[in-house]
Structure 1
């Protein structure tokens, strides 16, 4: 990031832009695009609710696993193959994909519930706050200000995928696994900003596919939630182990 902010004066100029003037940038968004964003976020909320149902179904019936993950991927591929004008069908497919995604992360959710249910609540609230902050930052920023991040984030995502691929073959230590988690968290937080601005820019150019845009943000939200949950579970587990050692000693 130092390449982008090479001097303290440049940083000061950027920071000074985040005031009342930056909030006025929201006026750059036309009423049509504002209505589109409302529809996107409403659809996102419904998808998150469907995902919560999927996670609950796993906790109750133990249905989550490889099959639900493959079903989610297949549903997303099906969604992209359906014409945009078939809104009801695409909306139903989105909800199915979200439900299957929720079931796929269900084992992690169940682990958190069994360990300490407050961890799940804290992780969700933390993800929601981060999502809200980064989304607002993207909305009130100048148009196309963060779109330059696309190449950087794509490179980071490629590195993350290669790390996971290498780990699946050669194995990994706890340290390398946590590095992947933190690195992935950083990447998907960046995608929250980038994808929001890209959605706004596409809407300005006539792309009003709110279902596809909601799916994009849903993917970002779940990716961040999973990583925050893993980090919190790891920290809680370490604290629990430390307490046990102290009791033994």
Structure 2
């Protein structure tokens, strides 16, 4: 089930990135890097706070849902970056364009999105009270 949700999210975001005007998402690199820093800091801080506390639960949610948003943004950016690199690669270059090495970043984005969706569906993102 997680794979279908991931396929829907990745397919939708990739379609948006391909159909968007040329280079629209290429300016998102700096905000995405800052968002990744916030998600990373929340993940580190969450290791030292108990998840039962309000602050610990908030940091966990920030790292979970914020990470999903950030890696979705990275998917948009990386998809347009691959298209831009393929279009601007010179035909007279000594080495041909290598789409496999360009697609590694998209692959890592998909893996991260899958992990976040699996954690959300496993109940890690909600407050459980007995």
Unaligned runs of 5+ in 2: 52-56, 90-95
Shift of 1:236: 9.6
Count of residues in Structure 1 that have an aligned counterpart in Structure 2: 119
Deviation at 1:214, TM superposition (A): 2.1
Q: How high is the TM-score relative to the length of structure 2?
A: 0.80
1:171 is the counterpart of 2:49: yes
Q: Could you state the TM-score of these two structures normalised by the residue count of structure 1?
A: 0.44
Structure 2 counterpart of 1:218 = 107
**What secondary structure sits across from 1:201 in the alignment?**
helix
- 1:162–1:176: structure 2 CA closer, same or farther, 3 Å change rule? closer
The structure where helix makes up a greater share of residues is 1
1:193 alignment counterpart:
76
Determine the C-alpha separation between the residues in 1 that align with 2:126 and 2:67: 21
Distance in 1, Cα, partners of 2:81 & 2:106: 11
Task: Measure, in 1, the Cα distance between the counterparts of 2:108 and 2:125.
Answer: 26
Q: Indicate the residue corresponding to 2:98 in structure 1.
A: 209
Structure 1 position 204, deviation (Å)? 1.4
Match in the other structure for 1:47: none
Pick the structure with greater CA Rg: 1
Query: What's the offset of the Cα at 1:172?
Result: 4.4
Q: Which residue of the other structure, out of 31, 36, 40, is the alignment partner of 1:161?
A: 40
Report the equivalent of 1:144: 23
Which residue number corresponds to residue 121 of structure 2? 232
Coordinate RMSD, CA, aligned: 2.2
